[in-house]
Amino acid sequence: MQALKNRIIKDGVAIGTEILKVDSFLNHQIDVEFLSELGKEFKNRFKDKEINKILTVEASGIAIACMAAEYFGNPLVVFAKKTSPNTMTDEFYGAEVKSFTKGTTSIVRVSKKYIEKGDKILILDDFLAHGEAAMGMAELVEMGGAEVVGIGAVIEKQFQGGSKKLKEKGYQVESLAVIQSINDGIINFI
């Protein structure tokens, strides 16, 4: 998606050779109009899929999933929680996920009542790096007897291998901007 690549070049900040900071429009401050365009593009990429829920992980994926939901006819948006709040009293599905950006490991959780057998679920997130979050969310979907109909990422860092792992497992993976490498502050796209 050329508009996204342009926005990354304009507002993104490369840190080292592995980190891209896009907090000015995607995950700290949100450009709602721009996210709406990203949501429309996800609909275009998964237009032939039957989807009744969109799954993401808190917090950065929530805005993206909500904006995309509008273009899919407003399916329910479910987000996996990284902590176990006092209000989560129901049984839940849990999967271990490592965060590349934060350098932490957590259990992502979704109440069992929000993933049901027969659901057709699209997984969306802001970044796809090593694929840990997407794999964890796919595991949650499968625990519930539901089907992963696709996995979408706003930005993929191809050089970290997550997309390849997901595709090898048979998932359709769609990334709106794919970064081949980050060198000396320069972002190189596929």
Q: Which residues contact 28 (CB under 8 A, 6 or more apart)?
A: none
Pairing of strands 120-128, 104-111: unpaired
SS3 188: strand
pLDDT given at position 118: 96
Residue 37 has pLDDT above 60, yes or no: yes
Average pLDDT, the chain: 91
pLDDT digits (tens, 9 = 90+) for 142-169: 999 999 999 999 999 999 999 999 999 9
Top-ranked range on mean pLDDT: pick from 28-37, 50-59, 69-78, 146-155:
146-155
In the chain, the percentage of residues whose pLDDT exceeds 90 is 72
**What's the pLDDT at 81?**
85
**pLDDT tens readout for residues 98-131:** 876 667 788 899 999 999 999 999 999 999 999 9
Sign of CA dihedral 189, 55, 79, 137: negative
Question: Is 86's pLDDT higher than 80?
Answer: no
In this predicted structure, the answer to whether residue 84 has a pLDDT above a threshold of 70 is: no
Work out the average pLDDT over 76-90. Answer: 74
Count how many Cα atoms sit within 13 Å of the Cα of residue 31 in the half-sphere of its side chain. 14
Classify domain 2-189 at the CATH class level: alpha beta
Q: What integer pLDDT is reported at residue 88 of this predicted model?
A: 56
- Please report, for the chain, the start and end positions of each structural domain, with discontinuous segments joined by +: 2-189
**Full-model pTM:** 0.93
pLDDT at 137: 95
Q: C-alpha distances in angstroms, 42 versus 3, 121, 177?
A: 14, 13, 12
